[in-house]
Structure 1
Amino acid sequence: MSDQRIGFIGLGNMGGRMARCLLDAGIEVVGYDADDKAAQRIGVTPAPSIAEVVGAADIVLMSLPDSHIVEKVVEGSDGVLDAGRSGQIVVDLSTASASSTKRLAARLAEKDMAYVDAGVSGGAAAAERGALTLMVGGDPAAIERLGWVWEPIAKSVVVMGDSGAGHTTKLLNNFLNAVSLAATSEVMVAGKKAGLDLHKLLEVLNSSSGVNFATLNRFPKIVDGDYLEGGLTSKLMTKDVVLYGDLVHELGVSSMNISGPMASFGLATALGYGDVISNRVVDAIGDIAGGIRLYES
């Protein structure tokens, strides 16, 4: 078995792009996705089942929508746990529940397998360029073995601690992302309705205390009609905020700020924007403000 072969389960929006970066680096990738055409589109070697992927490589990456699906893939019949063997490393690149991650790690450890959680940040654009930020948790020896895997897909890898630490960090980051995107969308709609020049408004925000990732990186494009399609959807953003709420509840931390993004991305889904990029939340807020659009062609 080649040391430069990776198994990849989940070849969707993010997983497919990461798999492509690994291929471009000369690494053989054997992949499986619920969409049986995904592997062919990306160019990876297709596998007919999860078990076949696990049997083909010592390192298996997963990029899946949520913990419920991760658990089915890992613990289901002919899943990762059934097909796995001693010494394998399974890397979960999903946005997932830290408590679920810790439980799965313990189960795999009983079979002498390592389970590493690696939250990713940067969106589809960074995944395309191999420039993601990874926040990683798990066994230090297993993480050390993954350096050659990280290199083609990430510009920054931060080891956060033991199992679950990577996914915990990811949820904290995604919550701040949701807050800033939802709040900035509301501000930009208000600015438009007030008759302000939106480019000038962003110039002020980006040199003032209101600056955030959305004002710096999203809205300079959105106000010119480019929504940066292809990234996290409003439905997935809502899922991440719910996971954050579960996390802080488990930690005994009150969240007074969760209602804003829950309402905003819930509104986006209710108005038909749930399956497109979460940046479209600005259009949902614009809809209920009288049909406001930041960009008018």
Structure 2
Amino acid sequence: MKIGFIGLGVMGAPMARHLADAGHEIVTVLNRSPLPADLKASVVASPTEVARISEIVITMLPDTPDVERVLLGRNSVLEGISAGKLVIDMSSISPIATAEFAAKIREAGAGYLDAPVSGGEVGAKAASLTIMVGGPAAEFERARPIFEKLGKNITLIGENNGAGQTCKIANQIIVALNIEAVAEALVFAGKAGCDAAKVRAALMGGFASSRVLEVHGERMISRSFAPGFRIRLHQKDLNLALESARALGVALPGTAAAQQLMNACSARADGAEADHSSLVRALEILSNHELSTERN
């Protein structure tokens, strides 16, 4: 089918590529990111035109204002959408705003799913993303063949729009606190005189083993902070968590602490664009011990 895909960044480009490789015709509009050389796609002038000529429109954008602008702003998807079409937002944004966006799209007669993902750039390239979906079951089943080209763990969280985004916030809370835990453990071990790399290797065989310890623990030790998932984007997700928690009357003390450590990292000149595993830098400063010195 003809699929509009808006947002060809670190995650969006490989996702669009998988759909093109599966035989779908991709239609896009260029904004911040150029068209990847290996992606066969038609480039049009505006989101309105993307929506007008596509059966399904997918957005994969950085933040809530970006999605609002593309879906509802000037020359937007809303201006080109029509009855029978389907909008799938795979960005990670506010659940409250998602419900508002969905209502506007539905007024035009189209369907709407919020389907944020987890798995980072690695999962996007491997088509192994976890996809968390909010929206009616019938629309979910319509989109399932598309989701199956992008991910492995695909779950309809609830039939209300915003359910997928709520699940993604929960995911980001868990990931952030796991990164903080791994960083604390490795800095503690290193400051105590142990080789952090050997500590990590030992822990990988025990109950403390996790995907974060495997991937991000290695990044912390090797100092490989080129972004898979940027700190500024995880900051945004934790902001959503804390805003939602205030509205719900929920206490998230660990999330608040992780957010403050990310704020400290973002204050560095290169911090906001570094991988979220670089949260370890804030703990290293507080502890006066850098893991990289162990390799000298």
Instruction: Give the TM-score, by structure 2 length.
Output: 0.92
Q: Answer whether contact 2:8 2:33 (CA < 8 A) is retained.
A: no
* 2:5 is the alignment partner of 1:8: yes
Give 1:255's aligned amino acid.
L
In structure 2, relative to structure 1, the CA distance for the partners of 1:287 and 1:41 (3 Å cut) is farther
Q: 1:236, CA displacement in angstroms?
A: 1.0
Equivalent residue, structure 2, for 1:121: 118
- Greater CA drift, 285-294 or 83-92: 285-294
Equivalent residue, structure 1, for 2:42: 45
Residue among 76, 90, 103 paired with 2:100: 103
Task: Provide the rounded CA distance (Å) in 2 between the counterparts of 1:169 and 1:80.
Answer: 25
Aligned residue for 1:60, secondary structure, equals strand
- Give the total of aligned pairs: 293
Task: Provide the rounded CA distance (Å) in 2 between the counterparts of 1:36 and 1:216.
Answer: 31
The runs of 5 or more residues in structure 2 that have no matched partner are none
Q: 1:207, CA displacement in angstroms?
A: 4.2
Task: Provide the rounded CA distance (Å) in 1 between the counterparts of 2:263 and 2:55.
Answer: 40
Task: Provide the rounded CA distance (Å) in 2 between the counterparts of 1:134 and 1:160.
Answer: 10
* 2:140 is the alignment partner of 1:143: yes
Task: Provide the rounded CA distance (Å) in 1 between the counterparts of 2:219 and 2:249.
Answer: 39
Equivalent residue, structure 2, for 1:79: 76
Task: Provide the rounded CA distance (Å) in 1 between the counterparts of 2:84 and 2:37.
Answer: 29
Give 1:57's aligned amino acid.
S
Equivalent residue, structure 2, for 1:185: 183
- 1:245-260 alignment runs, 5 A limit: 245-260=242-257
Equivalent residue, structure 2, for 1:56: 53
Residue among 241, 254, 259 paired with 2:238: 241
Aligned residue for 2:253, secondary structure, equals coil
In structure 2, relative to structure 1, the CA distance for the partners of 1:36 and 1:230 (3 Å cut) is closer
* 2:28 is the alignment partner of 1:35: no
Give 1:105's aligned amino acid.
A
Equivalent residue, structure 2, for 1:283: 281
Equivalent residue, structure 2, for 1:296: 295
- Greater CA drift, 51-60 or 207-216: 207-216
The runs of 5 or more residues in structure 1 that have no matched partner are none
Instruction: Give the TM-score, by structure 1 length.
Output: 0.91
Give 2:35's aligned amino acid.
A
- Greater CA drift, 281-290 or 237-246: 281-290
Q: Answer whether contact 1:132 1:156 (CA < 8 A) is retained.
A: yes
Q: Answer whether contact 1:32 1:39 (CA < 8 A) is retained.
A: no
Task: Provide the rounded CA distance (Å) in 2 between the counterparts of 1:58 and 1:74.
Answer: 15
Equivalent residue, structure 2, for 1:25: 22
Task: Provide the rounded CA distance (Å) in 2 between the counterparts of 1:136 and 1:254.
Answer: 25
- Greater CA drift, 207-216 or 109-118: 207-216
Q: 1:128, CA displacement in angstroms?
A: 0.4
In structure 2, relative to structure 1, the CA distance for the partners of 1:289 and 1:44 (3 Å cut) is farther
* 2:204 is the alignment partner of 1:216: no
Identity percentage over the alignment? 30
Give 2:136's aligned amino acid.
D
